[in-house]
Structure 1
């Protein structure tokens, strides 16, 4: 385990072409997104139309990216995005899905990256303080603990990713899958297995969820947006956006991640 920021890993490793891994992981996330789109009514928010394709903005990095934001009757904010300079060893692909306040199922968090080591983040983003909301803990997290242990036990080549940022560490649930692998391509089978399993489990939770009482929904929606905004704005990896796309574009990207410029209304608010 090493305590380093993303940019430190990338700078110390030097350039390494991860184009093939980026293509595989982008295809995986697209399959998952298509499965979500088949389950939920989704509408692309116009605020992200101008981020359908963006480049390095004159920084000379050669990087490019895309951010698509969606909303719907059951989905507060979904982001399907990528940013890459894969020929130089950097990429990330995101699928994050924030539910509306009608149910209290954890949100879906997923990000895959290379810098140039492989990096995996999969989490069930909590919507309450689990040390007091033991009902949510017992329902969504304790049953996953055995699987979390098994992944660590059976894959000794994986290195737990521990951020130097205390805020990042505070945002992870106790069953978050957050790992690095020296060989990004080696991670693909496990990444695929865990990601598909993660989505299927999450969809099952939604099918079984009880409705949140109407009088509690506004407070839950406010908390959800605060968590989402803080995660986006406090991410120490935002400096990679500054490096590859410039500060102005990075600020637009950060706002798109939490829906700061959204046009369509939030469900249930």
Structure 2
């Protein structure tokens, strides 16, 4: 199995352009199905700060996108978004759910990218120190270790993606999936099955979670926000947004990813 060690813009610039609309539309359906499944479990409300981001740009002439963020009693911030230009082979799509501080279940991180080859990421974002809290590791990551190793061995088409930014590498859990791959039918089906399984597993964790002690919730909420903001602001893929839409809109989109302009209150600690 080979490895990809490039910035996103290097991947895009070194690859011939191609229309990826068909795969983009398939992935939109996949993420909508997963988002609907999450919406069936949680009470969610669209944050007004993202209402005018329902559609931006002009897909008939070039880059465009959508960003919708939600919050609720159990969800601090959920983002369902895409940005790019499928006709020229670049699209970045997100479905990420950040939980409130009443439980310590890992957050759900999911992203799909066409450049025009495929790339995907899915992870259970830790909410503590895995080395300092081995019980937390055992509860949420131990059972995922063997399937993670099996995936690497059984899917040679998938190339592990190593970010050239150390901060982003540090954001991954030991069982994160982060791969680039040819968009064959078999590979697309593999990604869809994996994402569906991981979202189902995450929802099961939520249902089985024990409450966090009230006195510990404020610190957990503060850590959650810092992690979310730091990842959004330091994401090296933000350069693609600046290429397509300039600094002003890109800065706003980045703030929307972490809730910098939010109107709805955060879940009570």
TM-score (norm 1): 0.96
Contact 1:114 1:184 in 2 (8 A): no
Deviation at 1:92, TM superposition (A): 1.6
Cα distance in 2 for partners of 1:22, 1:108 equals 21
For the aligned residue pairs, the C-alpha RMSD in angstroms reads: 1.4
Cα distance in 2 for partners of 1:93, 1:238 equals 13
Contact 1:21 1:184 in 2 (8 A): no
How do 1:95-114 residues align onto structure 2 when only pairs under 5 Å count? 95-114=95-114
How do 1:13-92 residues align onto structure 2 when only pairs under 5 Å count? 13-55=15-57, 62-92=62-92
Figure out how many residues of one structure are paired with residues of the other and give that number.
267
| Unaligned stretches of 5+ residues in structure 1 | none
Deviation at 1:186, TM superposition (A): 4.6
SS of match in other structure, 1:178: strand
How do 1:151-166 residues align onto structure 2 when only pairs under 5 Å count? 151-166=151-166
Deviation at 1:183, TM superposition (A): 3.0
Cα distance in 2 for partners of 1:10, 1:100 equals 36
Deviation at 1:184, TM superposition (A): 5.9
Cα distance in 2 for partners of 1:191, 1:237 equals 21
Contact 2:107 2:124 in 1 (8 A): yes
Deviation at 1:2, TM superposition (A): 2.8
Deviation at 1:133, TM superposition (A): 1.2
Deviation at 1:212, TM superposition (A): 0.1
Cα distance in 2 for partners of 1:185, 1:251 equals 36
* Structure 1: 4+ residue segments shifted above 2 A: 182-187
Cα distance in 1 for partners of 2:240, 2:257 equals 15
Cα distance in 1 for partners of 2:151, 2:5 equals 21
TM-score (norm 2): 0.96
Cα distance in 2 for partners of 1:186, 1:161 equals 19
SS of match in other structure, 1:36: helix
Cα distance in 2 for partners of 1:186, 1:233 equals 34
Cα distance in 2 for partners of 1:138, 1:210 equals 15
Deviates more, 1:238-247 or 1:176-185: 176-185
